[in-house]
Structure 1
Amino acid sequence: MKKNWLWPVMAAGLFISACGAETAEDPTDTATESAEETETASAVDSAAMELEVPFDGVMDHVHGMGYIEENGGLYFASHHGLKVHRDGKWTEIEDQYHDFMGFNATATGFVTSGHPDMQSGMQNPLGIKRSDDGGETFDDLGFEGETDFHEMAVGYNTNNLFVFNPQANSEMETGFHRSDDAGETWQQTAAEGLDGKVTYLAMHPDDSMMIAAASNQGIFLSEDGGESFSRITEGELGTAAFFSEDALYYATYSEEAKLVKRDLSGGEEEISLPEMTEDGVVYVAQHPENPEQLAIYTAKGHAWQTQDAGENWTQILNAGQVQ
C-alpha cells in the first residue's frame, strides 16, 4: 500500500563550444585578466565568509538548499537564517536570522523570500530579495510587505524567476508568473497541464524556458516558460527537482524514495540513495564545478553528500543536528 505520510510533512513546510576569436589575444593581457578575475572572486569569497561564525546546533524548517559557486559553500535556508557546510565544517551567517522561504542559490549568491528577523527593520514578508555578498546586504526585487513566495525557481546563471503567487498583490494576480529580466517585469503564465499541489519549482541554469515542478501528482516539465507542462512520472508523489546544465534531477516517493537523473537529450538513470526509512528527498543540489558531487535533504531533516554520483554517501545532518 502506498504510504501517505510524506505529503502532509512536505505540505506543512518542513521542508530550492566557444567560437574562436578573430584576432589572437596577447598572452600577457589574458594572464592579467585572469589574475584580476581571481583577485575579485577571492575578495567576494572572503567578504562572504567573514559573515560566518561556527555553528554546532540543530536547524529546523529548511526551505531550500544549494551550492553558491562564488564561495564554494552548501547553503541551507532555515527557520533561523542561513547555515553553511563547507570543507566538512558548519557555519552560520551571523546577525541575519531571517526565516527564509523559496530559497534559491545562484552562481554569485542567492534569491529568497520569507519573513525577516524581527531586529532587521525589514517589512514582513520579505517579498523577493537577492544577495550577492553572502547575505550581508539585500537588493529588493519587489513585493516587500505584500507576499511570501514559497514556490519560487531562479536561473542559477540568469537570475530569471518563475513563481507561484498565492494571492493578488500590487503587480500580480493569483497564479504562476515568470520574469525574463531578473525581476524587473513579470508576466502571468497559463501553466496548462500542471496538476496537484505544487511544493517545489526548478529552472534551468541558463534556459529560462525550461521549468520543472514537483507536486502530489508527480513531476512535471515545461519547455515554454511555464505556459504548458507535461507529466513525466506516473503513480508517484513528486518531491524535488533540480536542473544541471544537461540534466533534470528529480525525486519521487511511492513505496520508497527515488532519485532520477533525466538527461535533457534523452534517457534516464536512477541514482542510488542512502538507506532511508519512511523518508523522502525534498531538496537536491549539485556542486557547480564537480557534477558527481550531489547533496540531498530529506523530509525528516537528514542530509547527505556524495562525491561519486551516489555510489557512496556521507551524512552531514541527522534530524537537523549537524554532523
Structure 2
Amino acid sequence: MNLTQSLYRTLFAGVLLTLTACNASTVTLTHVHGLAFSPDGQQLSVPSHHGLAVYSDGQWRKADGPEHDYMGFAVTRQAIYSSGHPAKGSGLPNPFGLIKSGDGGATWQPLALQGESDFHLLASGFDSGALYVYNGHPNSQMRSAGLYYSLNDGARWRRAAAQGVSEVPAAMAVHPVDKQQVALAGNSGLYLSTDAGKQFQAVVQGEQVLSAAFSLDGKSLWFGSYADTARLSTLDLQTLQVSALGLPDLTEDAVAYLAQNPAKPQQWAIATFKRDVYLSQDAGKTWKALAQAGKTLD
C-alpha cells in the first residue's frame, strides 16, 4: 500500500500542529511541522502553525515567543533556524525566508530571502551549522527549484545538482559535523551524498522513506519508512547496513519526524503523521506515548 497521498493529506490538513490551549495546563497538537530537542536536552520542541509546543519535566506547555507559523525547523548547538509565515498582526514580511533564533525561539533574526521563500524542507548540521534547503520556486538568490546549501547563515547559497535523485524529497537531514554529507528521503527510497549534494547514492530502495535524522555521533542515519506497515530503521554509515528498530502500534500511520537528545544520546523522540508523539529512553527499543492523535499526555 502506498501511503504517500493519504499521509500528506494528513500532514497538510492536520499534522502541522496548531497549539490549542484548552485550559491552563492542556496543549492540543493539531498541526506538527517538526521535532527537536534543545541543545541542553531539557526540552522537546514541536514547531507548528501557531508557535512552539514544548515538553519538559513531564509536562506540555506553549513556549514563550511569537506564535509564528514555523515550517522548516532545524536546531543546532548554537541556534534555531526556521522558515514559514509571521503571526497575524506582527507586521513582519511574509513569507519569512530564513530566520534564526539564539534564545530558544523567544526572538528571531531575519537572515535571507524575506518576503520571497517559505522553505518547508530545511535542515542543518548540529555542530557544523551547514544549512540545506529544498526550494520549490525561484527567488532572487536561487534561479531554479532544487537543493541549495549555505555555509554562512544564508548570506550565500550554492546550488547542489542532486544527481541520482529524480523526485522531490519528502525529508532531508544533514550530518552533525561533516558539511558535505546530506541525506534525502522520498517515495523511492533513501539517498546519501558525501559531496554537498552533487551526487546521491541510493542506500535504501523499494519503500517510501518519509523521515530521516543523523545520530549526533555521526555514525548512523535513522529513518522512518512505510512498506505495508510503518518501519523505523538505522543505516550504519560505514557499512551501509540497515537494522530494524521497534515502533509503537501505528495503524495507517508512519514516522514523520525524528529527534535525538544531545544530552542523553539514548533518548530519541518521534512524531507521526497522525499527531502521535513518543519518547524512547533506550535508543528505540521501547516507547512511551507523550501525545496521541494530538492529545498531549502529561
**What is the TM-score when the length of structure 1 is the normalising length?**
0.83
Alignment-mate amino acid for residue 73 of structure 2? F
> Which one has a bigger Cα radius of gyration?
1
Alignment-mate amino acid for residue 287 of structure 2? W
Contact 1:68 1:109 in 2 (8 A): no
Q: Return the alpha-carbon distance in structure 1 between the equivalents of residues 25 and 158 of structure 2.
A: 41
Instruction: Name the residue aligned to 2:230.
Output: 257
Give 5+ residue unaligned stretches, structure 1.
Answer: 16-52
Please point out which of 64, 74, 81 is paired with 1:104.
Answer: 74
Change (3 A) 1:230 1:171: same
Instruction: Name the residue aligned to 1:220.
Output: 191
SS of the aligned residue for 2:171 comes to: strand
Q: Return the alpha-carbon distance in structure 1 between the equivalents of residues 83 and 25 of structure 2.
A: 23
Instruction: Name the residue aligned to 1:284.
Output: 258
The Cα shift of 1:311 comes to 2.3
Instruction: Name the residue aligned to 1:73.
Output: 43
Q: Which structure features the higher share of helix residues?
A: 1
Instruction: Name the residue aligned to 1:269.
Output: 243
Please point out which of 84, 92, 109 is paired with 1:139.
Answer: 109
Q: Return the alpha-carbon distance in structure 2 between the equivalents of residues 310 and 97 of structure 1.
A: 32
Instruction: Name the residue aligned to 1:39.
Output: none
Alignment-mate amino acid for residue 233 of structure 2? V
Please point out which of 206, 215, 221 is paired with 1:248.
Answer: 221
Change (3 A) 1:198 1:186: same
Contact 2:66 2:107 in 1 (8 A): no
SS of the aligned residue for 1:82 comes to: strand
Alignment-mate amino acid for residue 293 of structure 2? A
Matched pairs, number: 284
Q: Confirm whether residue 120 of structure 1 aligns to residue 90 of structure 2.
A: yes
Instruction: Name the residue aligned to 2:153.
Output: 182
Q: Confirm whether residue 232 of structure 1 aligns to residue 232 of structure 2.
A: no
The Cα shift of 1:79 comes to 1.1
Instruction: Name the residue aligned to 2:295.
Output: 321
Contact 2:3 2:226 in 1 (8 A): no
Change (3 A) 1:214 1:172: same
Identity %: 36
Alignment-mate amino acid for residue 188 of structure 2? Q
Q: Deviations over 1:178-207 (max 9, x none)?
A: 112232211111000113231211101111
Q: Confirm whether residue 4 of structure 1 aligns to residue 7 of structure 2.
A: no
Contact 1:242 1:285 in 2 (8 A): yes
Q: Return the alpha-carbon distance in structure 1 between the equivalents of residues 242 and 128 of structure 2.
A: 26
The Cα shift of 1:60 comes to 2.1
Give 5+ residue unaligned stretches, structure 2.
Answer: 16-22
Alignment-mate amino acid for residue 191 of structure 1? A
The Cα shift of 1:304 comes to 0.3
Q: Return the alpha-carbon distance in structure 2 between the equivalents of residues 8 and 205 of structure 1.
A: 32
